Structure 1
Amino acid sequence: MPAQHSQHDRSRFDRPEDPFKALGNETRLEILRALYERGQETGAVHEETLPYAELREAVGIEDKGNFNYHLRQLDGAFLESVDEADGGRSGYRLTFAGFEIAKVIDIDAWRSHDVCGPTKLPIGSDADDSPLTAVYEDSVVTVSHDGDPLYAHAVRPAGAADREMELEELLSVASTLWRHTVERILEGICPYCHATVERSLEVGDGPDRYWQYTFGGTCTECGPLGGSHVGVAVLSHPAVVSLFWEHGIDLADWQVWNVPFVTDDAVTVVDDEPTRLRIDVECNVDRLAVFVDDSVRVVDTERLE
């Protein structure tokens, strides 16, 4: 498993006490917008340099002293000054952090929207065949059982509006995004900050657990990232993908809550110390056993007769 970084290691990058203090001004946000929009026009958002005079004109500030003050508040963190000696023309361009902020502003990430759903899904739960329900609320698509969330992923309001708030389409988008997020976690990469993630297998039951066999991920920077049923950990394994492909089925077309082996009935405990699980994957008459260790890695597969 990935080694934990020490607190000293994690602090090797300087962090401002209040990184958003510099953004608490409309003029500074307009500066970021102007650089971002010019980059969008030229197709080079990260590289586009805008000369001082053009940038001031785009923002609409006549007072040079006032404009220079706001530039200084952003310089170094959200934009950088470029000299002709660096190659190209002198001026200002967005840093990576500046691009990220400008992008969020551009897509109206905080845009409010109506609630979409809830609606029942045409699939029963593992526990009692009661229907799963889906809803899009507060920019998150959530699939639940009896009010307990099983799957959840953000879908930007701009993306939801582009799909005319059709919940069926939003479910498809959320499923794809959720798969990608989980794949990063399983590869040991935090989907948010890209720091190291430690994975752990969790076996247990109780009234607060929908599944008995689950995994979780913990980022060295962000902390707990959540997890899912252990069956999800084998979704993209080549042996599993091939099994379904042989029958003309592309697993990528299935929404994760519809995958038949993401269920406790498909899981068997092979070893206790350390924990090793077998997940039985079936497609028509063909069966595949997939073995997962306590770090949520596939360690072996076996075709079953």
Structure 2
Amino acid sequence: MAAETDENSSTLSPEAAFAVLGNETRFTILQTLWELYEPDDPANVVKFSDLYDSEDTVTFSDLYDRVGYGDSGNFNYHLEKLVGHFVRRTEDGYELTQAGLEIAQAVIAGTVRECPSIDTATIDEGCPRCGAPIVSDYENHHLAVSCSRCSGIWQDSTGENGVLFTLPFPPTGLSGRTAEEAFHATLAYNLNRIRSFIDGVCPNCSSAVEESLDVCTTHEPGDEGGCPRCNRQHAIEVSEICRQCKTVARGPLTIAILAAPVVTAFYYDHGVEHRFASWETFRRAQTVDEEILETDPLRVRLTVTVEGDTLRLTLDETLNVVDIVRGTSNSAQ
């Protein structure tokens, strides 16, 4: 396979990318190349490295016939607009670049052929606060899970309690899954993305991310609802933002801290296999104690307890762990 030329290494601004893709014929070309893309081809594992010979390339005439465009000259004009960023031209023909593949995958993730859905269902897991059955509902590409009895963890914008979490989940993820399987898949999907954010890498575009804390310094959650100031049970939330593609994640610090290796090791020392991307992480996060030690500079302490033993982690405003103390639950503070 021919090596890439300069035309295949160009970059586009967001405005230029939208302009290139804002044409039905060009998008049909990407869709056609995606339909011919073979994920089993080993060349696609390390795409464009020339370690393997790709079998995904399509000749101009074959691509022209498959798209069904009536004017070969005008078709070539649209194809050339894609070459360099979304489509790669080789000696053997044309294939998707990584950017072209990701555009197609994003469309496939958000649109489905059969519009799968799930009805409101009771999940065979107990609420981490009161143990009552939890209920899931899917709407607007989000899975919402709430407690059937208690006030949950959040109070939503309408003032209703009971919310445990509402997380995005592409509709394609519902295909072939029961309500309970979709529940666990939603957590795995989102917690894996959150772990990437915690590592400083946007899970969508790989850019660096900004991390900050939202601390409710007058936190007073009630038994029948969230704090009147922040509408939540937890006092400290982490905000993760990618300024490049505007992907965002936000959630309790008590969840984020469970991705720390020292916490995983602490659980392991007590015979507990801690998998971060799971319902167990969400459940365990509700048992982590949080305490604001100082506000200027900010210092917060999170305490993880297992079988009477404690792991106390002190964090600064940048979420760096500045102190670690292991002891028993009745040890001196």
**Pick from 31, 36, 39: which aligns with 2:37?**
39
Per-residue deviation at 1:161?
0.8
**Pick from 56, 80, 103: which aligns with 2:105?**
103
Distance 1:261 1:36 in 2: 40
Residue matched to 2:205: 193
| Long gaps (5+) in structure 2 | 1-10, 49-55, 147-151, 157-162, 220-226, 329-333
Residue matched to 1:85: none
Paired residues for 1:207-286 under 5 Å: 207=228, 208-210=230-232, 211-223=234-246, 225-252=248-275, 254-255=278-279, 258-262=282-286, 266-286=289-309
The more displaced of 138-147 and 171-180 is 138-147
Per-residue deviation at 1:303?
1.2
Overall identity of the aligned pairs, in %: 29
Paired residues for 1:1-305 under 5 Å: 14-15=12-13, 17=15, 19-40=17-38, 43=41, 44-45=43-44, 46-47=47-48, 48-61=56-69, 63-82=71-90, 89-105=91-107, 107=108, 109-111=110-112, 112-117=115-120, 119=122, 122-125=126-129, 133-144=135-146, 145=152, 148=156, 151-163=165-177, 166-204=178-216, 205=219, 206-207=227-228, 208-210=230-232, 211-223=234-246, 225-252=248-275, 254-255=278-279, 258-262=282-286, 266-305=289-328
Distance 1:193 1:232 in 2: 23
Closer, same or farther in 2 for the Cα pair 1:184/1:239, shift >3 Å?
same
Per-residue deviation at 1:154?
2.8
Per-residue deviation at 1:80?
3.2
The more displaced of 131-140 and 212-221 is 131-140
For 1:71, what is the secondary structure of its paired residue?
helix
Distance 1:42 1:202 in 2: 44
Distance 2:238 2:40 in 1: 44
Per-residue deviation at 1:304?
0.8
Per residue, is there more strand in 1 or in 2?
1
Distance 1:98 1:246 in 2: 46
Closer, same or farther in 2 for the Cα pair 1:228/1:42, shift >3 Å?
closer
Distance 2:18 2:34 in 1: 18
Per-residue deviation at 1:130?
7.8
The amino acid that maps onto 1:114 is S
Closer, same or farther in 2 for the Cα pair 1:58/1:222, shift >3 Å?
closer
| Long gaps (5+) in structure 1 | 1-12, 83-88
The amino acid that maps onto 1:140 is H
Closer, same or farther in 2 for the Cα pair 1:131/1:38, shift >3 Å?
closer
Distance 2:292 2:282 in 1: 23
Distance 2:71 2:247 in 1: 48
Closer, same or farther in 2 for the Cα pair 1:135/1:98, shift >3 Å?
same
Distance 1:159 1:168 in 2: 12
- Contact 1:152–1:174 (CA<8 Å) still a contact in 2? no
Closer, same or farther in 2 for the Cα pair 1:273/1:224, shift >3 Å?
farther
- Contact 2:257–2:263 (CA<8 Å) still a contact in 1? yes
Per-residue deviation at 1:172?
1.0
Closer, same or farther in 2 for the Cα pair 1:139/1:65, shift >3 Å?
same
Distance 1:258 1:42 in 2: 35
Deviation string for 1:270-304 (max 9, x for gaps)?
A: 33321112211111232211222211232332211
Per-residue deviation at 1:42?
6.3
Deviation string for 1:111-150 (max 9, x for gaps)?
A: 333343254752154xx88876432222222334476355
The amino acid that maps onto 1:152 is T
With the length of structure 1 as denominator, give the TM-score of the two structures.
0.77
The amino acid that maps onto 1:70 is H
